[in-house]
Structure 1
């Protein structure tokens, strides 16, 4: 029987509980420092805040994936992660106090001391718990005996990789070489216990829980060896041949019953996508409210300056080439699309992959320039975000004629939902005239994507708009 490693957030429930206890201990000691040794939970105000702290701490742990890869982190990285976790928790607690209007009644000194003690306690407890878990795994009784089946040329690197990444989970029983019939001394301190002909005999007579077949794709593993291992109830691990051309992001999963090796420019967890979509819905709702308010003033102004509909819609290409209809406040005259062909010679963007020009004559004088400068023309796209066609942060969706000019590597920028704002918009916006630079920035955004990066781009977008460096 083989126990599969738990990949969910529950896997690190021990660290989560430990962190929760550290927060409560920091809260109690801070209360004692400020008010003397009394029971803090007897006071309704402090009891309620303590309970809210627990929920906030769990929420941050879940959505921020605070303990992902915790056993692999070094001391400095752990200190940084601890500081981020504790700071975010305390900031959210502070926000709760502000919104519930209890900040003036709650001691600021207690909150400050709680924050400082929380960082210290949490960091020390994490280090102690990691040492305990690693030491425990190194005890022979907790290990699983693993036989490595490989070839002479690969044996050294396989042993080094297992020692580096298994954190003491395995007792390395030995090495069996598929290209050698005789036993040799050892490789990296691990004895060579069998050749291809006596692998089964060794497993039959010795302590072996699991067998790891790590052989090159060119060498066939005899089916009889695999069948015999299965007959003995030994757990079998087969190394999958990865393709370097697919990049680093490769995972094994099941597709319609077939085990497959999947690759993508960026692989994310369902939890991360849930949070990103939740941010989009929240932002879309707020944005639609502001769009409605803006429409009260902009719709009459647009119609007075340029008779016709106040809203503009156009088919754009979305994620991976999926067409959708985008919405904007109309900032151009009604014949803008027809006049675009005449103005292509004045396009500032090389190769005509996008259209940007200074003093575009198609823009409605006065109101058109104002709403483009302030980016108010983009506000109706909050409806696209709410519908799921777009995201708050993503890549600029191309028009149909732009899409038809795309080369192969240009399509990579559409591997994510198009966004109201994005990396290139906050890195120069209309000042960027090289489309390849746009592609590079968008590709970097996708490959480096994180929720933290989205928040940073949203913040920078607000700063860009306030500075008046909006679209031309």
Structure 2
């Protein structure tokens, strides 16, 4: 399977599972139709055939792109796709049975009936599943927000092309910026707001939730260099129409389709679709293992937290995720219940030297911090939890959900995000992580926020799977040593 096929396969796992269930269901129905109403899996010959079918189905799934663009297909296109899909499975199965000299007389009839019933049943199942996906809140939340930047002469026509058959797109147009004419306040087309290109628009665009930008140039349109520079500093992906874009400040990293347009993309991250699919697969595996560890730790830790500070065992807070999307992040509670209220009182003791992040030594909000060892250092249960990063374990649930990754940049709070400059916002051009480069480079020992941003940018610009593995291994060593935490 190619990079894009792998990514689509992981993204549409629900369709894969349903197809596999449908094939076995139709195999059973076909057996009832030409043999009798009995369990085909109790017969050695048909049990063998079922295993061959399943194996061949997995081969077709892995080595074909059948699931690529499945949500964008029309009804007739979907029918042809299913016929091609089941034909591949049956053909490989028959070739194998012929090669091993297995009797295929009965198999041909069984496979023929299975092909027909599968085509009908799976077509219905896929259509129903698409309806479920399009109506789900998760699908609507995960669609990419794209801003169109173009000239007034083609703005409405381009918008119309981009939003055609919108329910089959994994993006929505959140605004149109017109570069060569004034737009009136509240001007809209198809419920999409129009803006003139000025400083106020740049401020709105760079402080709002935007995943990508599409720049469609006409021959006489001047390149909005100031806006492009701001977007690139933030790490936002910019898609250009295929024109004479040659400015070296915005390197081209990918060619792809955006609705009906073929575009060149400029992104600060060099990761390919296949690499990101593998990263997500690693996150799923790590998230599952981490959730199991979290449940085990919960059994022992929950009573201790509650005894020392009655209240919820878990602490949850809105944080800023990739491209400014808010999400709910979870931790084991290591602080007293009034910790957030007391934060403002303690800002003067912030080690970071700015209000972009908050870290302090001997934080009195930590559970049990009033208890000291012989050297005067706090030794409460909250300090122990934070020293060994046990409080971070529930974030494996965020990783499993897809809000976070095993490795990335730490997510800021909502108030910290509002204070970021453009250059700081590049930190959230990728998914936030449980650990990251700056954590293993010093954890709480780094007190300069600009250094945090520099390390995060270094990670984003030089990302690869090997780097993630190195950071994870370093994190394990740092955590078990309990070094650098506060």
**TM-score computed with the length of structure 1 as normaliser:** 0.49
- The structure, 1 or 2, with the larger RCO (C-alpha pairs under 8 Å, 6+ apart) is 2
What is the TM-score when the length of structure 2 is the normalising length?
A: 0.48
